[in-house]
Amino acid sequence: MPDKNKKKIYLVILNYNGLEWLDRFFKTLNATLPKSVSLIFVDNASTDGSLERVKDLYPGLRIITNERNLGYAGGMNKGILTALAEGAEYIGLLNVDLWFEEGWLEGLIGALKNPCVGIAGPYQLEYDNNQPNEWTKEMVGLAPEEKTVEVSWVEGSCILLKKDVFLKTGLFYEGFFMYYEEIHLCRMASFLGYRSVIVPGSRVHHKRGAPYRENMLIRSQYIYNLLDPSRSFSRNLYLTVRTFAQHVKSAMLEKRLSKALFAGAGLLEVLTRLPEYYRQWQNDRNRILGEIKEDHLK
């Protein structure tokens, strides 16, 4: 008889020119994945032959092909919507620059059995060795003894979420394009009563930092500041301008004109789209007004 307590799990795999990672990604994924898990492969208009290779190697794989690069948020949202429409209860999100150790998914599933936990991520190691990567060291340290460690956010390269998180917070905000979208979603989930955790017993290897785009990072930081639903929009705007000033000061100390230019260009772009961000801030604030006390909103 079917297990009525077994959750329907979908994994959404996002690819953009990831040809060099695909073989190890799929080899270790297939070796560690329960057969009941459904896969959705989303390609963001790759030009390196990676989409063609996946089609050749895995002819039965569900593939969503985007005509242009929609970024992390836009690409993942396509897969998330498909998974939700088909009744997914847990949705995992994966980048292709990963490889997996045995039991990684079971550990994340175990963490989500806690009704207070809505988002779970693995203990990330360097791609080429067993040392924790920089994100892991910053978030949870070198050797945590706890079965789960509560964190403020989980990196979107490998993350498992309950469907209710998306139903309550909405999908990723596509205005970010890249960087900060998962941090904002975890922030929204926290306001709505869901904890985010890292599971030290769940281990994956991740090639972080390629390619790094400082201009996009600074721009997304501004947007993240503007969208904080716990503060007034005017306060968020003030803090965004202050962040710009901090970037310029840092650029002067580092003698990096490029960083100062990125900071200025990013702020100018954000200001020209301020009505769009205001509407998103208002939507996010309305989502949480019924869940937390108004005195938490400043």
Q: Which two tokens stand for residue 106?
A: 């079971």
**9-206: which CATH architecture?**
Alpha-Beta Complex (3.90)
* pLDDT-derived band at 294, boundaries 50, 70, 90: very low
Mean pLDDT of 53-57: 93
Q: Would you state the pLDDT for residue 164?
A: 96
* pLDDT-derived band at 57, boundaries 50, 70, 90: confident
Q: Would you state the pLDDT for residue 212?
A: 61
Q: For strand 90-95 and strand 9-15, is the pairing parallel, antiparallel, or unpaired? A: parallel
Quote the pTM value.
0.92
**Residue 266 pLDDT exceeds 60:** yes
- Percent of the chain exceeding pLDDT 70 equals 94
pLDDT tens per residue across span 110-164: 999 999 999 999 999 999 999 999 999 999 887 777 899 999 999 999 999 999 9
Q: Would you state the pLDDT for residue 291?
A: 64
8 Å CB contact between 263 and 276: no
Q: How many residues does the chain have?
A: 298
**Residue 194 pLDDT exceeds 80:** yes
> Which residues, 6+ apart, have CB-to-CB distance to 72 below 8 Å?
14, 156, 172, 176, 177, 178, 181, 182
**Residue 295 pLDDT exceeds 50:** no
Residues carrying CATH 3.90.550.10, the chain: 9-206
Question: What distance in Å separates the CA atoms of residue 53 and residue 282, rounded to the nearest whole number?
Answer: 43
